[in-house]
Amino acid sequence: MKLQRCLDEALRLAHLAGAELLRRRGAEVSFESKGVRRELVTAADRAAERIVVEGLQAAFPDHAILAEEGVLTTVGEPSSGSEWLWIVDPLDGTTNFVHGLPFYCCAIALAHRGVPVVGVVHAPALGETYSALSGAGARMSGRGKGERALSVSSTAAFEDALLATGFSYNRNELGRDDNTASIGRVLPRCRDLRRLGSAELDLCLVASGTYDGYWERYLQPYDVAAGAVIVREAGGRVSDYAGGDEWLFGDSIVATNGALHADLCELLGRPAG
C-alpha cells in the first residue's frame, strides 16, 4: 500500500467536504440532537460524510470505513474486517458550526492494524489544512500562508505552558468525569488554558507548537485519529491519561510536546507511565 496515494486522496476529499461545509454554512443551518442533548448533527455533517465515504469506497474498495454519522456505513462499526481502516469525522466542531464560529474541520485518518498512519484535518473557514504521513513528518498549508513543516513547542517548564482541553457532551451523568477536578489541578500550574470545541483542531495546534499540550475524555476514534498522527509526526507524544496506548478506542487522550507529558498525566490524577 502506497501511503502517499492515501494521503493525496484524503486531502482531495477533505477539501471537497470542506467546500460543502462552507456552502451550507452560508444558508440557514438546521440541526438535531443525536440522543444526547448537547450533541448536535446537521445536514452538513451528513452531506460532507457522503462526499468522503463515497470517494474512499471508490478509491479503496478493499478498505474498511468507520464514519461518525453512519450515512453509508453502520454507526460505530467498521464497514468490513480489513486491516486498513479509514476513520472519518466529516464535521468536528458541529456546535461551533451551528453557532457561526469558524473552529470546525473535516478530519480523515487511515489506520493499519489499529495504528493511525495517515492524518488530514482541513478547517475550511480558517483556510488551513494539516496533514501527516507516518515516518514523513507533518505539514500545514494555509490560505495566503504557503506550506510549512510542523514541529511541537520546546516549552519545558509547566508554568510556561499554554494548554487546551474539552468537555464531554454527557458530562453531567452520574459517574462521569466532568473535567472540573482536572482543571482545578492543572490551571493553577500552567500559564493559561483554552477550549476551542474541536478535538482534531486542538491536536493540530499542539502539533504546530501553538499549544504545549491538550487533554480530554470520552472521545471517539474519529475525534482524535487524524490529529494524533499529526502530533506524533510533529515530534509530540500521544497517550491515554495513564501514559499508555489506549487512546484511540479508550476513554482518554493526552497530547503534548513530550517534555510536559509526564507532568500533565500526573496532574490528571493517574500515574504518568
Q: Which residues contact 5 (CB under 8 A, 6 or more apart)?
A: none
Note the pLDDT of residue 19.
Answer: 97
C-alpha–C-alpha distance, residues 205 and 138, integer Å? 12
Residues 107-133 pLDDT 10s: 999 999 999 999 999 999 999 999 999
Q: For residue 251, is pLDDT > 80?
A: yes
Residues 182-219 pLDDT 10s: 999 999 999 999 999 999 999 999 999 999 999 999 99
DSSP string computed for 103-166 = --EEEEEEEETTEEEEEEEEETTTTEEEEEETTS-EEEEETTTEEEE--------GGG-EEEE-
- Give one word for 174, left, alpha or beta, with left for phi > 0 and alpha for psi -120 to 50: beta
The full set of domains in the chain, from first to last, is: 3-149 (3.30.540.10), 158-267 (3.40.190.80)
Letter for the amino acid at 172? N
Residues 138-196 pLDDT 10s: 999 997 778 999 999 999 999 999 999 999 876 666 678 899 999 999 999 999 999 99
pTM (2 d.p.): 0.92
| Backbone phi and psi for residue 99, each to the nearest 5 degrees, phi listed first | -90, 5
Q: For residue 50, is pLDDT > 80?
A: yes
Note the pLDDT of residue 273.
Answer: 39
With bands split at pLDDT 50, 70 and 90, how would you rate the model's confidence at 271?
very low
Note the pLDDT of residue 72.
Answer: 75
